[in-house]
Structure 1
Amino acid sequence: MAESEPGRPFRHYWGDTPAEEDDYYSQHGVRGTRSFLRLPRGISLFTRSWLPLEDGPPPRAIVLMIHGYGNDVSWTFQMTPIFLASKGFACFAFDLEGHGRSDGLRAFVPDLDAVVRDCLAFLGSIRERHPEYHGLPCFLYGESMGGAICLLTHFADRLGFRGAVLVAPMCKISDKVRPRWPIPEILSMVAKVLPTLPIVPTADIMLKSIKVEEKVAVAEMNPMRYRGKPRLGTVMELLRVTEQLSRKLSDVSIPFIVLHGSADVVTDPMVSRMLYEEARSEDKTIKIYEGMMHSLLFGETDENIEIVRKDILSWLEYRCTSTSTSTTTSTAGNLESA
């Protein structure tokens, strides 16, 4: 990550312009694209890809990546697909409706079922644009709310994906950040007439997610980051979907690895344990990292990020080269058979 120059603000790690961003990609052995995808439902999504260099070996797999609430694919989220692309994975992501450069009112996501359809439409467009990737295994990757969307996408297309990487997935709103009674009941009534109203009383999730103080400043610089209070319609939809997911954990059949920090107060690591225990997937892995917080792949120390990256990479690599299944559980530094 680049250091700030005297007398000027901290720059984001790839520079200030798209040209510098492309230079950053090249330095890390990947190439990137940017485009818009027009959907049948009438909105445009901003999309990105991070791909292995053309003069290297062909990609090992496609990874469809989904960011979390209030985030976007053009800032710190990029760190993970850049890393994976440098290791041979073709990574694709888009700004969710109401996020980043995609259409929609900022941070307003009234229908996550529509977002699932967006994911499948985006995957279809990838396959149309990249016939050379035909036959490659396809994986889902989601962070926080994106993890919940991954599971919903799995339910919508049970045969379309080889596996899922779930990073601090929001399978249920943590009681530590969920509004107390009677606030949810009151908000539910107001949301029926004023769904876009940004009044839900919650603390800034970003400040609860990042451990390393210097990285808070980098996250704050993101011009696309939503800084307002959550909108009523979005919160009610997240409550609906996570309640649904928490009742359907036993229906999960996709191979997956779920990764969570034990000190996460945004999404609950105990719910990830429930997912691991209840899912009927024959191939499932859980990693609980002692003392780590919600932002496992940006907000932690570089050493911790490297641990999480290696776990994700080894899990993906094994499932690209083997048809075997396994069931494991672990905490950082302690791997046991389940």
Structure 2
Amino acid sequence: MTQEGAQQAPVNFWGEHPATEAEYYASHGAEGESSYFTPPGASPRRLFTRAWRPAAAGGTPPRALVFMVHGYGNDISWTFQSTAVFLARSGFACFAADLPGHGRSHGLRAFVPALEPAVADLLAFFRSVKQREEHAGLPCFLFGESMGGAICLLIHLRTPPGEWTGAVLVAPMCRISDRIRPPWPLPQILTLVARFAPTLPIVPTADLIEKSVKVPAKRLVSARNPMRYNGRPRLGTVTELLRATDELGARLGEVSVPFLVVHGSADEVTDPAVSRALYEAAASKDKTLKMYDGMLHSMLFGEPDENIERVRGDILAWLNERCTPAATS
């Protein structure tokens, strides 16, 4: 490798020190592992999965399980881990999988022609974790960022009431923002062309890192993610996201799971107005919406550290309140 190549080679998202993931986890009071999961009857599809838990040296079992879903083009092995490690050191066992076509999971990069199989695969993985003996009786939360928030809502809408203790939705993609949605009649044209060439990466879009990450130095870190998809969106993926978010937009009133939505008021990738619409329309008796003035889409990595700590603190407080048994008289 040339000197220039060495300077450009990806490093860990937290920097050069500590040198390994295990050391990074340990320095934050957590431990982790990775593996592959093959959904029943789904061969040869495989999902790359990760788990983050409170460090065993602490001797305290996890307070709850948090099942996490990343956003479009992203994966679970780069900056996404920072939130999982934070939750693990705070007493939660976290589990996540790279979506099909993302990260180290099976499939053409960033090609999601149908969300239903992805939802089914994730649900199979999540349920396999929930069924482990050591997890019996623990509260179970969904956690989704951006497109992952939409997938969490789809999982909720396709599972029995009461299966989930709650859901944390971070800038959820309940509808693609008009600011990045292709203007009419381009969606209709794309849908037609996608029938014949769904994998073509030709859909024009804004630079998502530029629009998502506020801190310039953190943009560089995000861009160095070796597993991130940086090409143009594929036709089949875009038409499927348009279809799925249209479905969600029409079904907001059916959402009944307890939830917390956190969203930045300056988000230009997902629409804060739709998070407000979700809060107003949802049938959930326990629902909370927190809007953060001036924050962009990447609320848990791309903002100044003090903003990240504020959002993390609100998420942790919400989870803690729903893990603490109600006082009895």
TM-score class, shorter-chain normalisation, is: over 0.9
Aligned to 2:49: 47
Distance, in Å, in 1 between the alignment partners of 2:199 and 2:219 is 28
The answer as to whether partners of 1:263 and 1:291 remain within 8 angstroms in 2 is: yes
The answer as to whether partners of 2:18 and 2:24 remain within 8 angstroms in 1 is: no
Q: Cα distance, 1:16 vs. partner?
A: 6.8
Tell me: CA distance 1:19–1:11, structure 2 relative to 1, closer, same or farther (3 Å). closer
Tell me: CA distance 1:267–1:26, structure 2 relative to 1, closer, same or farther (3 Å). same
Distance, in Å, in 2 between the alignment partners of 1:17 and 1:72 is 22
Distance, in Å, in 1 between the alignment partners of 2:138 and 2:104 is 29
Tell me: CA distance 1:17–1:291, structure 2 relative to 1, closer, same or farther (3 Å). closer
Aligned to 2:138: 136
The answer as to whether partners of 1:61 and 1:90 remain within 8 angstroms in 2 is: yes
What are the within-5 Å matches in structure 2 for residues 193-204 of structure 1?
193-204=196-207
Aligned to 1:330: none
Aligned to 2:3: none
Q: 1:262 aligns with which of 265, 271, 286?
A: 265
The answer as to whether partners of 2:88 and 2:94 remain within 8 angstroms in 1 is: yes
The answer as to whether partners of 1:49 and 1:90 remain within 8 angstroms in 2 is: yes
- Amino acid across the alignment from 1:132: E
Please give the per-residue CA displacement for 1:250-301, whole angstroms capped at 9, x wherever unaligned: 1000000000000000000000000000101000000000000000000000
Q: 2:288 aligns with which of 274, 285, 291?
A: 285
Aligned to 2:176: 173
For structure 2, the 5+ residue unaligned runs are 1-5
The answer as to whether partners of 1:15 and 1:21 remain within 8 angstroms in 2 is: no
Q: Cα distance, 1:113 vs. partner?
A: 1.2
What are the within-5 Å matches in structure 2 for residues 113-132 of structure 1?
113-128=116-131, 130-132=132-134
Aligned to 2:152: 150
Please give the per-residue CA displacement for 1:73-104, whole angstroms capped at 9, x wherever unaligned: 00000010000000000000000000000000
The answer as to whether partners of 1:69 and 1:107 remain within 8 angstroms in 2 is: yes
Distance, in Å, in 1 between the alignment partners of 2:99 and 2:121 is 9
SS of corresponding position for 1:93: strand
What are the within-5 Å matches in structure 2 for residues 77-226 of structure 1?
77-128=80-131, 130-157=132-159, 158-226=161-229
Distance, in Å, in 2 between the alignment partners of 1:37 and 1:17 is 30
Distance, in Å, in 2 between the alignment partners of 1:203 and 1:234 is 16
Distance, in Å, in 2 between the alignment partners of 1:237 and 1:16 is 39
Distance, in Å, in 1 between the alignment partners of 2:107 and 2:283 is 36
- Amino acid across the alignment from 1:31: E
Q: 2:254 aligns with which of 240, 248, 251?
A: 251
SS of corresponding position for 2:176: coil
- Amino acid across the alignment from 1:28: H
Q: Cα distance, 1:207 vs. partner?
A: 1.4
Q: Cα distance, 1:118 vs. partner?
A: 1.2
- Amino acid across the alignment from 2:48: F
Please give the per-residue CA displacement for 1:179-215, whole angstroms capped at 9, x wherever unaligned: 0111111111000111111111111212110000000
Distance, in Å, in 2 between the alignment partners of 1:52 and 1:131 is 18
Distance, in Å, in 2 between the alignment partners of 1:13 and 1:170 is 25
TM score, norm. by length of structure 1 = 0.91
SS of corresponding position for 1:107: coil
**What fraction of aligned residue pairs are identical, expressed as a percent?**
60
Q: Cα distance, 1:159 vs. partner?
A: 2.4
Q: Cα distance, 1:17 vs. partner?
A: 11
The count of aligned residue pairs is 317
Q: Cα distance, 1:124 vs. partner?
A: 2.2
Does structure 1 residue 20 correspond to structure 2 residue 23? no
The answer as to whether partners of 2:139 and 2:165 remain within 8 angstroms in 1 is: yes
Distance, in Å, in 1 between the alignment partners of 2:285 and 2:49 is 33
Aligned to 1:238: 241
Q: Cα distance, 1:322 vs. partner?
A: 3.9
Q: Cα distance, 1:19 vs. partner?
A: 7.0
Q: Cα distance, 1:246 vs. partner?
A: 0.5
Q: Cα distance, 1:139 vs. partner?
A: 0.1
- Amino acid across the alignment from 1:280: A
The answer as to whether partners of 1:14 and 1:20 remain within 8 angstroms in 2 is: no
- Amino acid across the alignment from 1:185: Q
Distance, in Å, in 1 between the alignment partners of 2:16 and 2:102 is 20
For structure 1, the 5+ residue unaligned runs are 1-6, 325-338
Distance, in Å, in 1 between the alignment partners of 2:266 and 2:297 is 8
